[in-house]
Amino acid sequence: MEKGRIVLGCLAPHPPHLVYAENPEQNEPFSEGGWETLRWGYNRLARKLKNIDYDVMVIFTPHWATYIGTHFLGLPSFNSLSVDPIFPNIFRYKYDLRVDVELAEAMEKSAADAGIITKMMRNPDFRIDYGTITSCHMLNPEWNKPIITISSNRNSHYYSGEVMNEQSSALGEACLKAIEESGKKVVLVSSNSLSHRHFVTESPLPEDMSREHIYNHSQYVWDMKIVGMMRDGKMREVIDIMPEYAEQTIAETEAGGLTWMMAAMGFPKYPAEIYGYQSVIGTGNAIVAWDPNSATREIVL
Ligand SMILES: [Fe+2]
């Protein structure tokens, strides 16, 4: 059997506003648009993904927060209505998704063998979080590939950003081992924003773009520093400063997703593809991809 591999890594932020603005049939509320810089970037990355041969999308989400161990989806399908607890006015999404249980179990075993506390999610009524749904919908609106969601074990809450970095790196290495042994071609997805201070009141019309801007300038400067390092292929350095960055900007990277994905991909030294950066309720959101194949890697923006 051919060795499995990661064919693309995606930093895929999940403001539910993006799904709301796209008006897919699965989402109940209606919008007049908004956040085009991010949506058009996502649309372009989704077109690239259509030309990549892959078996499964593996996504790490901050909004399935687990406090004892790392959990993996462990049933072949899940379907229900996902309602964003903060924004029920913009996100009420009917989902019906498939899971690659075989690879999920292999990753769980590999992580457990590495000493990480793990558990498979076998509850058929488990509600999939809006982070998983938003990132997967924007990357693959057809939902024609199975997914695996990995929970975010909140080591940063128990201990520190440094411990979170170490634990997430160990998880990434364990997942890579399982992927290689599976023979499958895998797309990794880190579902998170960058800087994450946000407004606490919503404009009367959520998609009113005259109200949208970054929460503060220092947050913007930090985000641009990180995006610049991604562009320059300095992912080892980005992960090294992650605890400081997360503390300064309340970055959603504190959940461990980006560290997990970069560790699995061997901390790329090649330039990342930048698809867009824009604020959503004041948070900083970048859509970025790492393409290990130099023949198809592009300078997008
Ligand atoms: Fe989030």
Write out pLDDT tens, residues 71-128: 999 999 999 999 998 999 999 999 999 999 999 999 999 999 999 999 999 999 999 9
What average pLDDT does this structure show over 206-232?
A: 97
Nearest to 274 by CA among 289, 284, 259: 289
**What distance in angstroms lies between residue 39's CA and the mean position of ligand 1's atoms?**
17
**What distance in angstroms lies between residue 134's CA and the mean position of ligand 1's atoms?**
10
d(CA 199, CA 64): 22
How would you classify residue 45: left for phi > 0, otherwise alpha for psi between -120 and 50, otherwise beta? alpha
The pLDDT value given to residue 1? 85
**What distance in angstroms lies between residue 129's CA and the mean position of ligand 1's atoms?**
10
Q: Which residue has the tokens 């880190």?
A: 190
The pLDDT value given to residue 140? 98
**What distance in angstroms lies between residue 16's CA and the mean position of ligand 1's atoms?**
9
**What distance in angstroms lies between residue 14's CA and the mean position of ligand 1's atoms?**
6
d(CA 54, CA 33): 31
d(CA 45, CA 273): 9
What average pLDDT does this structure show over 180-186?
A: 98
pTM for this prediction: 0.98
**What distance in angstroms lies between residue 235's CA and the mean position of ligand 1's atoms?**
22
Give the CA angle between residues 268, 270, 272 to the nearest 5°. 85
**What distance in angstroms lies between residue 181's CA and the mean position of ligand 1's atoms?**
32
**What distance in angstroms lies between residue 130's CA and the mean position of ligand 1's atoms?**
8
Proportion of the chain above pLDDT 90, given as a percent: 97
**What distance in angstroms lies between residue 182's CA and the mean position of ligand 1's atoms?**
30
The pLDDT value given to residue 159? 87
DSSP summary character for residue 211: G
**What distance in angstroms lies between residue 205's CA and the mean position of ligand 1's atoms?**
21
Domain ranges across the chain = 5-290
**What distance in angstroms lies between residue 231's CA and the mean position of ligand 1's atoms?**
23
**What distance in angstroms lies between residue 183's CA and the mean position of ligand 1's atoms?**
32
What average pLDDT does this structure show over 8-20?
A: 98
**What distance in angstroms lies between residue 86's CA and the mean position of ligand 1's atoms?**
10
Nearest to 199 by CA among 179, 216, 182, 217: 216
**CATH code of the domain made up of 5-290:** 3.40.830.10
d(CA 242, CA 240): 6
**What distance in angstroms lies between residue 296's CA and the mean position of ligand 1's atoms?**
30
pLDDT digits (tens, 9 = 90+) for 38-65: 999 999 999 999 999 999 999 999 999 9
DSSP summary character for residue 201: S
**What distance in angstroms lies between residue 268's CA and the mean position of ligand 1's atoms?**
25
**What distance in angstroms lies between residue 283's CA and the mean position of ligand 1's atoms?**
10
pLDDT tier, 158 (very low <50, low <70, confident <90, very high otherwise): confident
